[in-house]
Chains A and B, each alone.
Chain A
Amino acid sequence: MLFMKKLISIILGFILLQACHTEENYTIVPTVIPLQIPSNFPEIEYNLENNPLTEEGVALGKKLFYEGRLASDGIISCGFCHEQASAFTHHGHTISHGIDGNFGFRNAQPIQNLAFFSEFTWDGAAIHLDLQPIIPITSDFEMGETIPSVIQKLNSYPEYRILFENAFEDAEATTERLLKALSQFMVTMISGNAKYDKVIRREGNVNFTNLENKGFVIFKNKCASCHSGALFTDKSYRNNGIPFNKKFPEEEGRKRVSGFEDDFYKFRVPSLRNTEMTFPYMHDGRFGTLEDVLDFYTDGMSENGGKIDPLLTKQDGSLGIDLSQEDKIALIAFLKTLTDNTFLNDKRFAEF
């Protein structure tokens, strides 16, 4: 009798255990993945504690990044203006066109290494990566949508219910989850495998050519006070003496965000990573080549209604940076060592 009781309880226990075990199989737990930070890079600024990277979250973010239905016309996705081959800029576009053929007045910036920044866009209009996508999604000349409408749309597509369930253990799309997934994908978009990085990290037997080395020395002397560190920007806003563009009279630079007169025509010092591929250059994409950019710094700067950065004012009070023709050739050779083909071809970020 006692033996029977024992046997029954063992069987019951076994069934219970089995039940638990089966249940476990049905619970989808997102797979946490580590973020690989290049050894020559600083710490990331993005707080992963609030939004841990998961395989499923990143996958959802990637799908959303290339999702035209985030826009009111069903076409203009993030990836529309941020193309991988151009380091996620809008290839060949001075400024970008959005819904209904509307134009903005700024050049699309590359999407790379955003985890290392806490302010975004040319004027710092976004101060958290999660909240940055609100601007293009809701802007009339970009995607022309509203977040509540995007959420409603996403909840109506069965494929997204599965993806949200996988990433957040809940099938419902919410603003928080939409923005977190986009951030997860963007956080993984790290470009730190250019020739420059390999030289700096002493990887393999990679060395600069003589010309690149000459360019690097010039760069350190004449460019690196603003384009500093592994990210090639000190993240500041500066007025670089770019002539006022009459085509866009509403452009005020950083002043638009801060409201301070002193910030008129100041723009974020852009990173130079993959700069070979991110043409055209400057906030309005006015320069088509790196040669044009360097010619501007030697001969093209002018008063533009704002306060031009003292670092770009010579001792005699004139504007510009002194560079010879040979200097420019060497500088450009160096800048091309910042091209990261691994990043530009990384399948993890590719639309197809």
Chain B
Amino acid sequence: MKITNYIAAFFMAVTLTACTSTDEEITGNGNITLEFDNAFSTSDLLLDTAPYKGNETEKIKISKVKYIVSNIRLEDKEGTIFTYPKNESYFIVNEENPESQFINLFNIPSKDYTKITFGIGVDQEKYLQGAEGQGEFLTKAQDAGMVWSWQAGYKFFVFEGTYTSINTPDETAFAFHMGSHGTALDNYKEITLTLKNSARVRTNATPEIHIVADIANVLKGTTKFMLDDTAQIHVNATKSPQIATNVNGMFSVDHVHN
């Protein structure tokens, strides 16, 4: 009788140590917040105010920065990927609307995530589902001015304002609108960013991934864009994909709040 008690106590102890010595078993789902913080080089982005330095002598005043963030996926340290439900995975980040810069994702399995992937724009797969696939995102996008009126497609990225330069002394409008070109050219691109410290999603802890979007990269990234050369780029088979690449390069993870 006593022996059995000892044995039971022994097993209890082993079980207890097991629980404490290795990682606690993490279960349940939690939430995560993505903050898209738009910047211009080392400064905060302010609309309609400060002239920012573009390339060479170009000085720009920015009036609109908007983009579609989509198809969010999170990867944990073991390499397991969690894909956020596709139908709920389309968002518009609009510099004019501070609320839009915080994307709240719900029902994420509790884990330590080390990488995030997202797309800029709308993939053809979603688009070709027709009305069924767009759901209410189409309405939202129209409200936000992210749908073209002359072609039935989304604007993935909108960047507008005015500029001056040594060659253009008068304030002149510029506008970059980037999206896919019907079935001719797909400009949807995805970005994967590594998190400096892991985002620890728990039932009772909502990490916030602070992503900085450096808008200067649109003009100064892989391809340099002189507004004096082309101030209006809407559908251009050469330049639109270059803008897409520059836009993809503008994101970095600054830090993760746990």
A residues near B (Cβ < 8 Å) are: 47, 50-51, 119, 123-132, 134-135, 138-140, 146-148, 151, 174-177, 179-180, 183, 254, 256-261, 263
Contacts and interface: CB of A to CB of B under 8 A. Distances in A.
B147 interface: yes
B193 interface: no
Contacts of B237: 258-261
B236 interface: yes
B235 interface: yes
Nearest to A142: B149
Contacts of B127: 127-128, 131
Nearest to A179: B131
B240 A259 contact: yes
Contacts of B133: 50
Contact of B131 (A139, A183, A258): A183
Contacts of A263: 184
A148 B152 contact: no
Given A138-B142, A259-B184, A125 B131 contact: no
Nearest to A177: B131
A51 B131 contact: yes
Contacts of A140: 149
A135 B151 contact: yes
23 contacts: A50-B131, A124-B182, A125-B151, A127-B153, A128-B128, A128-B130, A129-B130, A130-B130, A131-B131, A131-B138, A132-B152, A138-B147, A138-B149, A147-B139, A175-B135, A175-B142, A179-B130, A257-B151, A258-B181, A258-B182, A260-B184, A260-B185, A260-B237
A140 B129 CA distance: 26
A174 B134 CA distance: 11
Contacts of A256: 150-151, 235
Interface in B201-258: 235-238, 240
Interface in B128-171: 128-136, 138-139, 142-143, 147, 149-153
A257 B235 contact: yes
Report which residue of B132, B143, B238 has the largest number of chain A beta carbons within 10 angstroms of its beta carbon.
B132
B49 interface: no
A147 B142 contact: yes
A176 B133 CA distance: 9
Given A127-B183, A257-B184, A176 B131 contact: yes
A43 B193 CA distance: 44
A135 B129 CA distance: 18
B238 to A, nearest CB: 8
Contact of A258 (B129, B136, B185): B185
Contacts of B153: 125, 127, 131
Given A139-B150, A257-B235, A127 B182 contact: yes
B150 A50 contact: no
Contact of A47 (B130, B143, B238): B130
Contact of B136 (A119, A175, A257, A261): A175
A259 B181 contact: yes
A50 B235 contact: no
Nearest to B154: A131
Given A175-B131, A179-B131, A131 B152 contact: yes
Contacts of B184: 124, 254, 257-260, 263
A151 B149 CA distance: 17
Nearest to A132: B152
A259 B235 contact: yes
Interface in B21-52: none
A125 B152 contact: yes
A129 B127 CA distance: 11
B152 A126 contact: yes
Contacts of A175: 131, 134-136, 138-139, 142
A119 to B, nearest CB: 7
